[in-house]
Chains A and B, each alone.
Chain A
Amino acid sequence: MSVDTATVRRIAGLARIAVSDAEAEAMVPELNNILGWIEQLGEVDTSGVTPMTAVIANTLRLRDDVVTDGDVRDAVLANAPQAEHGFFAVPKVIE
């Protein structure tokens, strides 16, 4: 499998990263080199192997369904590029 400029643009769109035409073209050989190198995994017979989901056996813990934090609105908003009236502010969205 290999990528072309259109695929790079599509992937960059999914990843929400703006790329110029020149950047997209430059990334084609870079990504193809890496993808070509990881292709070798295809030669391993993995039939019957369960994909790893936890690296060290561990059980997910449950806790009581109670509020354990919160009431820190100003701290949450402290690093917002734009906060207004106690909310995160974003450009107007019209759909």
Chain B
Amino acid sequence: MAALTDLGIAAIRDGVRDGAFTAREVAEQFVARVAAARPLNAFITETPEHALAAADAADKARAAGTLAPLSGVPIGMKDLFCTAGVRSTAASAMLGDFVPPYESTVSEKLWAAGAGMLGKLNLDQFAMGSSNETSAFGNVVSPWRRNDGGNAALTPGGSSGGSAAAVAARLCPAATGTDTGGSIRQPAAFTGISGIKPTYGRCSRWGIVAFASSLDQAGAMARDVRDCALMLQAMSGFDPKDATSLDLPVPDWEAGLSADLRGKRVGIPREYRVDDMPAEIDALWRQGAAWLKDAGAEVVEVSLPHTRYALPAYYIVAPAEASSNLARYDGVRYGLRDLPEGAGLQDMYAATRAAGFGAEVKRRILIGTYVLSAGFYDAYYTQAQKIRALIARDFEQAWASCDLLLTPTAPSAAFALGERSADPIAMYLNDVFTVPSSLAGLPAMSVPGGLDGQGLPLGLQLIGRPLDEQTVLNAGLAIEARAGFGERPSDWW
């Protein structure tokens, strides 16, 4: 029998239900594998007791005939979700010792569905970064290596880098992520797994450490499309505690899965064909279109004329919202306090925030403060929100001629840690294909398409109409079936 840690959510769920193995056996194997993989630095806090207790509850539930949808499935939780009684850091020094007295809505839903938690996963500090190099708890190392024998430590992507590395390395069958400008999809692409960000408002933001509230959205990361559907289903749903939560029923996405795309039109946005796109990514994109055609879809070219302005608009909107959200870290109510000898209240604020925030977080707070400051607000922030409206309109117009969009997920495969950290704008460009759909609040997913010449995974992105996660998942399933992506990193750690 294969190791239980090779199984995904659906296989674990079914195996526990059918008595092929116990939930306890599953949890014990994952707990051991997590402990053996510490060189990857994927977890900030390990919580074996949580996973084992949920497993025991699942085994009891099976005996009692009361199994829940995710009974016996141990997952990883991005350390941006507050978990009651378990340190929740946002990978920051500011919240380095923060133990929330409350549970985030998404994690609460997962526990109610029977899942257990293997631990809190590393990320970019306050989810600000695309390579997991801004964490106050150190870089996450991707389980993947180039095939050149050089063994350079590669980024798992960011900000959900710990989630991506842990799922790819089979430390957990699935993990939560959050996506503000691509933080689920880009790391999924870099590590050869699947990840979906639903329509803005599907998942409650309550209890998720806020970065940019009009963009932040939780989602699922797993090794296949079915598991993403299952996991997202458990995470979604109306929450009166989040003013932007959508009061809509959660579809049964798993039951609706179908790789038959007859009658669907797939748009290829021509503005995503950027000048310096690596030939391998361009080739994979064309291959992806051919796969969807083979699944019965019609492929059409579409135009999203404001695409090139999405990234600069994002780097106004997101820092502006971040500067406002992160004003709460004042050294008074929770988190770090730095009180220099003889300092007054204002000095305490300034010292606390200087000590508690990393360089990238400070950079974004300062940019955000600047673009919102008197005299600049209209030139920057209002203009960015107008461009955001134009980007959303581009998508609306595209939906007249197609039902979903296919693009590459990222403009390159994973790069080496340290390779791009000196130039913030070069780092921001990682998100060039994921940011537009974030600005428009659309559901979007990355699925693995293949390996590049260096043996590293490349992803394809599917973007859907608002609330049409089903079509996104179905197209993902069609690609998954044809790509036959079975590669996995070796256990070198």
Chains A and B form a bound pair: yes
Chain A residues close to B by CB (< 8 Å): 1, 3, 7-8, 11-19, 27, 30-31, 33-35, 37-38, 40-42, 44, 46, 49-56, 58, 60-61, 63, 72, 75-76, 78-82, 88, 90-94
- CB <8 Å contact, A55 and B343: no
B250 adjacent to chain A (CB < 8 Å) = no
- CB <8 Å contact, B389 and A16: no
- CB <8 Å contact, B243 and A41: no
Interface centre among B240, B244, B351, B366 (most CB of A within 10 A): B366
B384 cross-chain contacts in A, Cβ below 8 A: 38, 41
B353 cross-chain contacts in A, Cβ below 8 A: 15-18
Q: How far is the CA of A11 from the CA of B439 in the complex (A)?
A: 26
Query: Which secondary structure characterizes the binding site on chain A?
Result: loop
B199 adjacent to chain A (CB < 8 Å) = yes
Leading 5 A-B pairs by shortest Cβ distance: A55-B441, A81-B337, A51-B385, A79-B334, A18-B350
B98 cross-chain contacts in A, Cβ below 8 A: 79
| Chain B: minimal CB distance from A5 (Å) | 13
Known A18-B353, A56-B246: A49·B386 in contact at CB below 8 Å: yes
Interface size grouping (class) on chain B: 35 or more
* Smallest CB gap from B423: residue in A: A33
| Chain B: minimal CB distance from A51 (Å) | 4
- CB <8 Å contact, B332 and A80: yes
- CB <8 Å contact, B389 and A50: yes
B335 cross-chain contacts in A, Cβ below 8 A: 79, 81
Known A16-B346, A41-B383, A49-B389: A8·B312 in contact at CB below 8 Å: no
- CB <8 Å contact, B389 and A79: no
- CB <8 Å contact, B385 and A52: yes
B101 cross-chain contacts in A, Cβ below 8 A: 72, 75-76, 78-79
In the complex, 27 of the A-B residue pairs with CB atoms within 8 angstroms, ordered by the A residue number, are A3-B370, A16-B327, A17-B350, A17-B357, A31-B370, A34-B363, A34-B367, A34-B425, A35-B370, A41-B313, A41-B387, A42-B379, A44-B306, A44-B386, A46-B390, A51-B385, A55-B214, A55-B215, A55-B439, A55-B440, A56-B200, A60-B243, A79-B98, A80-B332, A80-B334, A81-B337, A88-B332
B113 adjacent to chain A (CB < 8 Å) = no
Q: How far is the CA of A44 from the CA of B101 in the complex (A)?
A: 47
Known A11-B366, A15-B323, A82-B337: A91·B316 in contact at CB below 8 Å: no
Q: How far is the CA of A63 from the CA of B215 in the complex (A)?
A: 25
Known pairs A15-B323, A34-B315, A76-B333 / 8 extra A-B pairs, C-beta < 8 Å? A37-B312, A38-B315, A41-B387, A46-B386, A79-B98, A81-B337, A88-B333, A93-B345
B201 cross-chain contacts in A, Cβ below 8 A: 56, 58
Q: How far is the CA of A82 from the CA of B347 in the complex (A)?
A: 16
B99 adjacent to chain A (CB < 8 Å) = yes
A18 cross-chain contacts in B, Cβ below 8 A: 347, 350-351, 353-354
Interface centre among A11, A13, A92, A94 (most CB of B within 10 A): A11
- CB <8 Å contact, B362 and A41: no
- Within B371-390, the residues touching A (CB, 8 Å) are 373, 376, 379-380, 382-390
A91 cross-chain contacts in B, Cβ below 8 A: 339, 343-345, 348
Partner of B392, one of A27, A38, A55, A92: A55
| Chain A: minimal CB distance from B246 (Å) | 7
B102 cross-chain contacts in A, Cβ below 8 A: 75
